[in-house]
Structure 1
Amino acid sequence: MVVHNPNNWHWVDKNCFDWAKNYFQEKLVGLSTGAATDDLYTHITKLSSIEGDCEVNQRKGKVISLFDLKLNLGISGHVNGESFSGSITIPEVAFDSDPEDYQFDISIFKETSKLSEIKPVLREKLIPQLRDTFSEFGKQLLNTHGNDIQVSSDKVTSEYTKANQQSSFAKVEAAKEAAKKEASGNVSTASGTAKKATLSSETQQSSKTNAKYNTTKVHLESSFQVPAIELYNTFMEKPRIEAWSRSPVQPDTTNGSFSSGSALQNNDCFKLFGGNITMKLISSEPGKEIQFQWSLNDWKEGHFSKLSLEFHESKEYHETKLIVNWSGIPVGEEDRARGNFEEYYIRAIKVTFGFGAIL
């Protein structure tokens, strides 16, 4: 990163969001509560989504990190032979957070009283590892990127900014030394290298696939007091869609076909909310999953996100958990997409059909 900033006086910032995503992918995936042979066991399987901002900045010689991130982690495991999957949502990992500030929302899909036994184990053995990782993140961020955004001290004539710079780099060097000590006690593995290579490949492929926008992901979860097949049908049957969307399902034959039946069929293309939303049904499995292509009419022409809906029914608790994994959203649009989905899909369905508490 080339810096033209006399005496390091002016504000300079570096976007480190992609680095943060790779960092948490490497540090968090694979963390577990213990041995896979334990009666109660869970481990982190993936970084499902990460949203927010992450930057390193400098002004008047001082280097600081500014970040405010929301993460969702996929988990899986077993309780006395019964397998489960779920998620952990961390609403805020911020530059000014203390370890005790972090909140962890644990969700077990198709939860039963037996499967809920994993939650105390998870809180006791896995959550502390997450707290430690998040607490170290700010130091590692400065350690990696602090040198990139300043003119070297030999080119600084201001004693004021030079003193600030020396103080900042003293902190960075301390972080480096701590990292070296930690690394000296660890042995790198081929799996870690392969993981990085796979992630790099995925990032490159994503940039090729979504050339028109830099994109991000959104993850949502909501519970409905209704069987999974009923909630599934609410997204599939045209009369129900028109009821909760309060708009006609308009055929979009310019982008594909549209079936004449009362329920959507794969490859059906249609518009909702007065034509503001364009959708295409990609695949569906009754009571299990639906996948759509989804686009706002003010996005660039031809750009579609992928909206995946999963339905996890807990018969014991008489509810279905809707898991929304939404990829391909243009960076900067994620808050808008999340808010609109929560208001015009989730809340609208609950209000229209009485499928659960309205928040």
Structure 2
Amino acid sequence: MAKWGEGDPRWIVEERPDATNVNNWHWTEKNATPWSKERFQQLFLDFKIAQNDMDCVVEAVDKCNGEATVNNRKGKLIFFYEWELVLKWSGCMLKNSALSHKGKLTIPNLSEENDLNEVEITVTIDESNDESETLKRFMYNVGRELIRKQLGVYIKELKEEYSKNLILPKKGADGSDADNSDANNLKNAAQKSKLPATGASTVASKAVGKSGNNSVGCKLDVRTLSMTEEFHCNANDLYNALTKADMLTAFTRAPAKVDAVRGGEFVLYGGNVLGKFEELVPEKKIQQSWRLKNWSSGHYSNVIIELDETASSTMMTLTQTGIPASEYDAMRTNWYRYYWHSIKQTFGFGASIADAL
């Protein structure tokens, strides 16, 4: 144990008078999901879209599935949101008739992965006729851009309002320093639609845990994680995504060092994930000694990834043993978020060709 005044200053509690999140080093998170759902309802309640003799209105949110979180990791703000929205709309042509036509606007994937102008919005109508088709074209050509502006309001408020107080002032610093830090981080976040490399460096970034304080010889409480995920690609493509440096760099959005041979080492997410390959069977199996940089010295988990190619997809099964017990839930979430979801988004492995037609 380090003597007083020695050791890594990140862990000296006295660094902040209230002993809370020293130097903003630890992962802190706010759940923005309930707030987001309520804000979507407010933004799209009786939202009018009119021009010349076209009079349309988004009446309400019919469906809202997803989640949103705001995180602080080492003084950096990370925004994660992923939403599927369905909006009900109606409209009429004032000069021709007073008949009202109804339809829906579907937003299948509003997320930090896409710029606003790339967000897909489909327009449908309940009954097709000359008037309704004209209104549908109007909503497609004019309405979609106004909908995107409303979505931009949501994203702006999420980043500029909901993330307040996540970054705390250090010892001797007043609130203005924290405000400046918030402002700088928010500015950086607004300039990047992709997950920052420093943020993506947490495949299980909460996994500091109590285990990091155990001395040599102490029993470590560990858990085993198993998960299965389907990818719409062949096994060779998925195998390459998990072993080739260029493909790992692409979906992690950070430089990757990979020596994909038995005994070869890998370093991902800015050095926060590291280990070595224990066994490699192309298109079938990848076994790794895997750890986070901030785990207790010398502690590795064992990761086995098995691939099973079917007629239309590849089933991936992951088994990870030796996870610190306190970090089990975070590990499951972050494997999905920063590996499987990101691979599907980056390489298009999330939907089959048949689904896309």
TM-score over 0.5 (shorter chain): no
RCO (CA 8 Å, sep 6+): is it higher in 1 or 2?
A: 1
Question: TM-score band, normalised by the shorter chain?
Answer: 0.3 to 0.5
- Taking structure 2 as the reference length, the TM-score comes to 0.42
- Taking structure 1 as the reference length, the TM-score comes to 0.42
